[in-house]
Amino acid sequence: MELFLFIVIGGITLISSFFVVFQRSPLYSALFLILTFLSMAGLYLVLGAEFVAIIQVIVYAGAVMVLFLFVIMLLNLDNEKREWMTKHIQQKYFGVIVVAVLVPLIGLGISTPLLYSKSQLGAPGTYSPQIAEQVSNTAAVASLLFTDYILPFEITSVLLLVTMVGVVYLARRVKKQSLPGK
């Protein structure tokens, strides 16, 4: 049953992530991103990481997407006319090159652990069901987040702050340009 749920929810995640990239409307793209975040939370639930699933919904599907939708509505990106097929030829070529480089790297990252047997990789990590019963999922994530990954955590918070300041700056600049007499 778990494998079936994982495959179904994983399929929904993949399909919705493709729609995020290939939608012409930024608003629809953001809505598909919310669906992607929610299906990722479902994958975390199937894998037994309840805390990560809840944080996925609260932080990403909630707070971050509200920020994204705020930016889209504030900048009024839906009214912008775009000519996707005739403009930005260099960006298309650059995209093809990036895909050509990333696909083999992703394949290598997926296949490398599968090529080696467990004896070649060494002993498995410190995970065991007994340890998992003693320490809660929340305590394990918090311990890692505030010890080993404190620098990326703080960099992410500063990045989100800079993003919000940039959005307010862009919105004020657009509003000043649209006022009559200025």
pLDDT of residue 36: 93
| pTM of the predicted model as reported, rounded to 2 decimal places | 0.56
Most confident range (mean pLDDT) of 28-42, 93-107, 166-180 is 28-42
**pLDDT higher than 90, residue 9:** yes
42-81 residue pLDDT tens: 999 888 888 888 888 888 888 888 878 777 777 765 455 5
* DSSP letter for each residue of 113-178: HHHS-HHHH-S--S--HHHHHHS-HHHHHHHHHTTTTHHHHHHHHHHHHHHHHHHHHHHHHHHHHH
Q: What is the SS3 assignment for 43?
A: helix
**CA 50, 55, 57 angle in degrees (round to 5)?**
100
**pLDDT higher than 80, residue 29:** yes
Q: Confidence class of residue 111 from pLDDT cuts 50, 70 and 90?
A: low
**pLDDT higher than 80, residue 38:** yes
Higher confidence at residue 149 or residue 76?
149
**pLDDT higher than 60, residue 123:** no
**pLDDT higher than 90, residue 12:** yes
Most confident range (mean pLDDT) of 5-14, 58-67, 86-95 is 5-14
What is the Cα–Cα distance from 27 to 175, expressed in whole angstroms? 20
Residue 25 near residue 78 (C-beta atoms within 8 A):
yes
Residue type, 133: E
Residue 30 near residue 72 (C-beta atoms within 8 A):
yes
What is the Cα–Cα distance from 182 to 180, expressed in whole angstroms? 6
* Mean predicted lDDT score pLDDT of the chain: 76
